[in-house]
Amino acid sequence: MPSPLANEILLSLNREVLNQLDLAGAIQHPGESGRAREMIITAYLRKLIPEEYGIDTGFVFDTRGQISRQIDLVIYRRGYYPVFQIGGIKHFMIESVVAIIENKASITAREKLFGALENIRSVKALDRANGGTNYTVVGGQVGPSVNMDEFRHQVFGVIATEKSLGQDSLKDVLLDFLRTNRDRRQWPNLYVDVRGSAAHFIKGDPANVKSTVVTSEAECLALTDPEAEGYLPPLLELTFELVNYLRIAPIIDYSPTAYLSATGGRIKWWKI
């Protein structure tokens, strides 16, 4: 059974975040209101995720020169990878990124939801395996090679908002995206409306249906009912799934020479 104390703490944090988001919504300038929302969600997550992870906004890129769209919240492993900055804008190596969150005040238009889905896809489509040469690090030693079909080796992707499309429209857009993008590795793992319902995948037979964020296991798309008994606030569902993923995500080693060339251009040399 869940710990009553932990459950009460999380419910209290959920109420606190919603109250702060209410205040952020009162800011008249859209850009400043958006930045305030990002700071509120970031501060909330920082209270709960391990200190070895950082949270920031920016772009993600890989060794092949591919670069993502700008991502609202990038959760990356600190202390092992360099972070590149261009004019103060951070660029993260795909190997360092473990999760991404598209954090929107509202997604009440189909085009905005498709945009958020494409932002998630733009990161998940990057090559974490570096053409099959990258490997995981286990206990400071070389572990198994990176396998992009392995859930633990993928980037966890979430769309979060405060106001969604109606359930029928939300379902239609999500299903359209999933059915036209057959590479399940590029699907979002979770959609949450912090004031309403969550969209997640389910697996299993009708007598034993289970929720899953592992896209390869998905058999159906489901939307939670805020009025149903046992309703779990979507922000807490996001928290549970994110923290659970960080628990199992391995360190993925990278090749510095794949990103940085130490001997580029012509050089002069003398025999010693």
pLDDT for position 164: 93
In percent, how much of the chain has pLDDT > 90? 62
Average pLDDT over residues 64-92: 94
Q: Is residue 1 part of a domain?
A: no
- Residue 100 CB contacts under 8 Å (≥ 6 apart), including other chains: 60, 71, 73, 74, 75, 119, 120, 123, 155, 156, 157, 158
Neighbours of 248 (CB within 10 A): 8
| pLDDT higher than 90, residue 110 | yes
pLDDT for position 149: 96
Q: Is residue 3 part of a domain?
A: no
Residue 184 or residue 207, greater confidence: 184
- Across 123-127, 198-202, 207-211, which has the greatest mean pLDDT? 123-127
- pTM for this predicted structure: 0.90
Please give the tally of structural domains in the chain. 1
**pLDDT tens across 58-67, in order?**
999 999 999 9
pLDDT for position 168: 93
Domain that holds residue 241: 52-256
- Encode the chain in three state secondary structure: CCCHHHHHHHHHHHHHHHHHHHHHHCCCCHHHHHHHHHHHHHHHHHCCCCCCEEEEEEEEECCCCCECCCEEEEEEECCCCCEEEECCEEEEEHHHEEEEEEEECCECCHHHHHHHHHHHHHHHCCCCCCCCCCEEEECCEEEEECCCCCHHHCCEEEEEECCECCHHHHHHHHHHHHHHCCCHHHCCCEEEECCCCEEEEEECCCCCCEEECCHHHCCEEEECCCCCCCCCCHHHHHHHHHHHHHHHCCEECCCHHHHCCCCCCCCCCCCC
Q: Is residue 149 part of a domain?
A: yes
Q: Is residue 269 part of a domain?
A: no
Give the confidence band of 81 by pLDDT, cuts at 50, 70, 90: very high
Residue 61 or residue 10, greater confidence: 61
> To which residue do tokens 């990038």 refer?
74
Q: Is residue 196 part of a domain?
A: yes
Give the confidence band of 145 by pLDDT, cuts at 50, 70, 90: very high
Q: Is residue 216 part of a domain?
A: yes
Name which of 119-123, 191-195, 243-247, 263-267 the model is least confident about.
263-267
Q: Is residue 9 part of a domain?
A: no
Q: Is residue 12 part of a domain?
A: no
Average pLDDT over residues 164-183: 95
